[in-house]
């Protein structure tokens, strides 16, 4: 029983330290813009797929629980209005499944705001050849009860 309590206490302390690290903006790893683009490429989907430009492009970011069907619905709506839409999955390329997303991302233990901002910068750079420079849109998918 003492060992179980010690392990639980250690886990709580580690989670607290990680939360403080995230709040302070201290990153554990550094990557270049090109490395980030390459990492996220498998989880990025452009609609319509032809991608010829320049034209207005919207970037759709998933909420803390990952990409859902609603993002594809919005991408199709934007395409009907003459915009391309880049659906950016930050979770899949990092190997985070639904359970890990809820448990770790939504709780702020992995992929803090600074890392997600880096994903947005990478997406903006990746779409620069097809994007109309005068048009910018970023949408984030959230549940109604998500803060």
Contacts (Cβ under 8 Å, ≥6 apart) of 141? 60, 61, 62, 63, 67, 68, 70, 71, 74
Render pLDDT for 52-91 as a digit per residue (tens, 0 to 9).
667 788 888 888 788 888 889 988 998 888 888 889 988 8
Collect the ranges in the chain with pLDDT lower than 50. Answer: 144, 146-147
pLDDT value of residue 21: 62
pLDDT value of residue 134: 67
* Sign, CA torsion 27/33/112/99: negative
By three-state DSSP, how is residue 10 classified?
Answer: helix
Contacts (Cβ under 8 Å, ≥6 apart) of 116? 61, 90
For residue 45, the cross-strand partners are 87
């Amino acid at each position: 029983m003492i060992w179980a309590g010690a392990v639980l206490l250690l886990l709580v302390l580690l989670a607290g330290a990680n939360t403080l690290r995230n709040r302070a903006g201290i990153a554990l790893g550094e990557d270049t813009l090109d490395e980030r683009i390459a990492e996220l490429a498998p989880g990025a989907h452009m609609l319509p797929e032809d991608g010829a430009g320049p034209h207005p492009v919207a970037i759709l970011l998933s909420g803390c629980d990952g990409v859902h069907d609603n993002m594809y619905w919005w991408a199709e709506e934007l395409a009907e209005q003459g915009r391309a839409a880049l659906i950016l999955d930050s979770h899949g390329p990092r190997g985070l499944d639904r359970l890990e997303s809820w448990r770790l991302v939504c709780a702020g233990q992995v992929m803090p705001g600074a890392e997600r901002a880096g994903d947005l910068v990478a997406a903006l750079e990746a779409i620069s050849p097809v994007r109309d420079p005068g048009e910018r849109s970023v949408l984030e998918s959230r549940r109604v009860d998500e803060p």
